[in-house]
Amino acid sequence: MGERILEVRNLCTSFFTHEGEVKAVNDVSFHIDEQEIVAFVGESGCGKTVTQLSLLQIVPAPPGKITGGEVFFKGRDLLQHKPNSPEMRSVRGAGIAMIFQEPMTSLNPVFTVGHQLTDIIMLHRKVGHKEAWEMGIEALRSVEIPEPEVRMRNYPFELSGGMRQRVMIAMAVYCNPDIIIADEPTTALDVTTQAQVLELLVSLVKQHRKSLIIVTHNLGVVTRYVDRIYVMYAGRIIESGSTEEIMTKPRHPYTIGLLNSVPKIEKERSEKLIPIKGAPPWLIDMDPRCTFLPRCSYACEVCETKEFPKLRRLGESDHFIACHRDIAGSITGSTTGRLDSAGRHDLGGEAHG
Amino acid sequence: MSGNMAVYILKRILIAILIVFLVSVFAKALMHMLPGDPVRLAMGFEAKEEDVEAFRVRMNLDKPIHMQYILWVKGLFKGDMGWSVLYDRPNRDIFAERLPRSIAIGLPAVIISSVFAIIFGIICAVNRGKWSDQIITFLMTLGLGTPVFWLGIFGIYIFAIRLRVLPIQGFTSPFVNFGEYVRKAILPVACMSIPMIAGVARQTRTNMLDAINQDYVRTARAYGISERKIQMKYALKNALIPVVTIIGLQLRIVIGGSVLIENVFNIPGIGSLLVTAINNRDYFVVQNAVLLISIFTVSVNLLVDILYGFIDPKIRLERKGG
Ligand SMILES: Nc1ncnc2c1ncn2[C@@H]1O[C@H](COP(=O)(O)OP(=O)(O)OP(=O)(O)O)[C@@H](O)[C@H]1O
Ligand SMILES: [Mg+2]
């Protein structure tokens, strides 16, 4: 791993709605090094997208507002700059490029793919139109789009979802950024193209020696590519660590639940998926205590009384959790913690390996 | 242009002709359903019965309605629009006189209002919620809610009577005296434009705001495109597509004229002609006016449709595909 390229500290982003302040990102800290691949995982609505949008200061405002924190990108705090300042704009695309969750709507319907691609390449590569067009064709070729010369003159609606997401990947890579953020890049695609698009993205990132933040709610698909994992719940990071640690020794009850609810191809069919009971909390007027409390099968007295637990390091490792309890010894199986008939984890069981 | 596009346009033209035909039949039929005798109305109730009958025969009004229709259409192909019962003049002369007046007021109104409306709409959307947006939006609501004749009377009172900077009413052809035309046209054009500006500006504002919240704008932003360029290029093109349709619909006023404006400012155009003709059951004038307006409206729609294809690639390509 290389130098630390991005360091986010205590990032807070809220949406000020009629019902109140929605704390979408709540005191989130994380970092990414050069050429590192990290994953953000969590249920829908936990703040994964808003976290990434905050880095680029493109949270829809109003109602969104970054209410605190620091985003050090190559040593400079990006939040010191106004959202539409030239400094901020020069980071967008050229420093940090983002691929969005919604391939069908992320490209402008009334301009050709080539037009949109060249506009952005011209801006960041400082080249003329002709050169940018050639680079655009090259970019489409690099993402394995057949007949790139023809596709350049196509409008987005003439392309399939998978093709559009490839265009977005081409756009991101050809801005030559330090970090690429891929926000659930394959969620909207059908299963067969998901794997291809993901494989392509990772190979391009590796080839160009970029860092990659990949947002997902299905850890199963991405684990083999990622170095570290951040688990988000209700606007906060509640567990983080190396992929190895998280996948084999998850220590937060939510992570355990999440891993159990994810289909794993390698596993036997017979193994049942166990969805986490209950729903994520309302992000307005949040309980000052642990937000996972109502859904947690390990909850005890401490959890009922104390405030939300701060992230703490487990021993000497890079493994952090935000949990009052230490359920290390109480997990049955690596990622397969099972519920007994009463719906509670069998605390007496021992790990088998 | 591809062959398919040509086929498409040809199809559209055939449909347009069919529509115009149907409208002309309806216009004829409807007028005849109205009670009232055009010849009596034109000649007055003191006129002698034999004079009235002679005139009726001369006008072909003694013939059955389908014969009248056929004679009318036959005449049209020979460039003869028939005779006006009320004015006792050839319709062609009446229209040749009045049509340019309606166009001379309506065309500048549509052009000026479209330009201002789009500019206002953009200003509002870009400064959403700020004072400029609020002031313009307020004025637009006012403009939409104010009756045109009231605007006209108010304008005349202020500019013609109080300030004495503009003439009270009337019309001068731009080819006769351009300066005089402009002075006389300012108020009617302005009064006609205000509601149109209000409508189109609101539509533009809504569409712009809608576009600015779209995912593709977020993409442009995420790649460092400047806010100005996002608004003026990426959002605007999307926002203008529905606006083109509305402007196309408004173009009808160019040829149909506006009855209220023509009355308030005493401009003898097509609008006031149509009303007078209907009141006097002047069948031949009405059917020609309706035909003229329908031909124009249908052509404008056709044009807008083709223009649409140039802005909206989706439509263009669907057509190409057949
Ligand atoms: N424009 C907005 N106005 C109000 N609240 C918003 C807005 N955008 C997002 N939120 C809220 O912020 C929270 C986080 O949303 P976010 O899009 O980051 O979730 P996510 O983790 O990316 O979920 P998903 O997996 O569905 O993409 C949600 O609870 C959502 O309700
Ligand atoms: Mg999301």
Q: Domain locations in chain B?
A: 1-86+281-322, 103-279
- Mean pLDDT confidence for B244-259: 84
Closest approach of B313 to chain A, Cα-based (Å)? 6
Of all protein residues, whose CA lies closest to atom 4 belonging to ligand 1? A15
Domain ranges of chain A: 4-226, 243-264+271-353
Q: Is there an atom of ligand 1 within 6 Å of A217 CB?
A: yes
Provide CATH code, domain A4-226. Answer: 3.40.50.300
Number of alpha carbons in the 13 Å side-chain half-sphere of residue A236: 23
Q: Residue B309: list chain A partners with CB under 8 A.
A: none
Mind giving me the DSSP string for B178-245?
HHHHHHHHHHHHHHHHHHHHHHHHHHHHHHHHHHHTSHHHHHHHHTT--HHHIIIIIIHHHHHHHHHH
- Given an 8 Å threshold on Cβ–Cβ distance, is A108 in contact with B227? no
Which residues does chain B have within 8 Å of residue A84's beta carbon, measured at their own beta carbons? 226-227
Per-residue confidence band for A260, with pLDDT thresholds at 50, 70 and 90: confident
**pLDDT given at position A347:** 38
A47 Cβ closer than 6 Å to some ligand 1 atom: yes
Any atom of ligand 1 within 6 Å of the Cβ of A198? no
pLDDT in the model for residue A170: 94
- Asked if pLDDT for residue A352 goes beyond 50, the answer is no
Ligand 1 nearest-atom number relative to CA A63: 3
Per-residue model confidence (pLDDT) at position B284: 86
Partner-chain residue, chosen from B223, B224, B314, that has the shortest CB–CB distance to A157: B314
- pLDDT of res. A337: 38
Per-residue model confidence as pLDDT tens digits over A39-61: 999 988 899 999 999 999 999 98
User: Burial of A50 by CB count in 10 Å (0-12 exposed, 13-18 middle, 19+ buried)?
Assistant: buried
* Mean pLDDT within B7-31: 86
Q: Tell me the mean pLDDT in the region A96-102.
A: 93
What is the rounded (10 degree) CA torsion for A259, A265, A267, A271? 70
**In Å, what is the CA distance from A342 to each residue of A79, A253, A275, A349?**
48, 16, 15, 15
Max Cα-Cα span within chain A: 69
Instruction: Judge whether residue B140 has pLDDT over 50.
Output: yes
Q: Which residue do the tokens 């050839």 mark?
A: B90
Both tokens assigned to B67: 């014969």
pLDDT at A329: 52
Q: What is the pLDDT at residue A257?
A: 87
Q: Is A40 in the pocket of ligand 1 (CB under 6 A)?
A: no
What lies within 8 Å, CB to CB, of B21 at 6+ separation is none
pLDDT at position A344 is 38
* Res A90 pLDDT > 80: yes
A302-313 pLDDT, tens digit each: 888 888 888 888
Contacts of B317 in chain A (CB under 8 A): 155, 158
Point out which residues pair with A28 in neighbouring strands: A11
Q: Name A277's Cβ contacts closer than 8 Å, sequence gap at least 6.
A: A295, A297, A343
**pLDDT score, position B192:** 92
* Pocket residue to mutate for ligand 1, from A46, A66, A181, A187, most atoms within 8 A of Cβ: A46
The CA distance from B205 to B188, in Å, is 26
B318 pLDDT exceeds 70? no
Q: Taking 50 as the threshold, does the pLDDT of residue A351 lie above it? A: no
At A57, the amino acid letter reads Q
What is the average pLDDT across B60-71?
A: 87
- Check whether A6 has a pLDDT greater than 60: yes
Any bridge partners for residue A41, and if so which? A216, A231
* CA A235/CA B259 separation, integer angstroms: 62
CA distance B234 to A116: 9
**Phi/psi at A241 (5° precision):** 170, 180
CA distances from A281 to A45, A236, A278, A287 (A): 10, 12, 9, 9
The answer to whether B189 touches B265, Cβ cutoff 8 Å, is no
d(CA A28, CA A13): 9
Checking if the pLDDT of A346 tops 50, the result is: no
Percent of chain A with pLDDT over 90: 55
Among A106-110, A144-148, B92-96, B239-243, which is the least confidently predicted range? B239-243
Q: What is the pLDDT of residues A177-205, one digit of tens each?
A: 999 999 988 888 888 888 888 899 999 99
Atom of ligand 1 nearest to the CA of A47: 18
pLDDT band at A1 (very low <50, low <70, confident <90, very high): low
pLDDT at A333: 42
User: Can you give the pLDDT at residue A151?
Assistant: 93
Q: B252-262, pLDDT tens digit by residue?
A: 888 888 888 99
Q: What is the 3-state secondary structure (H, E, C) of A256-310?
A: HHHHHCCCCCCCCCCCCCCCCCCCCCCCCCCCCCCCCHHHCCCCCHHHHHCCCCC
For position A142, what pLDDT does the model report? 93
- Cβ neighbours of B219 in A, within 8 Å: 100, 106-108, 168
- A173 CA from centroid of ligand 1 (Å): 26
Task: List, for residues A104-160, the tens digit of each pLDDT value.
Answer: 899 999 999 999 999 999 998 889 999 999 999 999 999 999 999 999 999 999 999
Which structure tokens are listed for A311?
């992230």
In this structure, which topology does domain B103-279 adopt according to CATH?
MetI-like fold (1.10.3720)
The pLDDT value recorded for residue A191 is 80
| A87: closest chain B residue by CA | B224
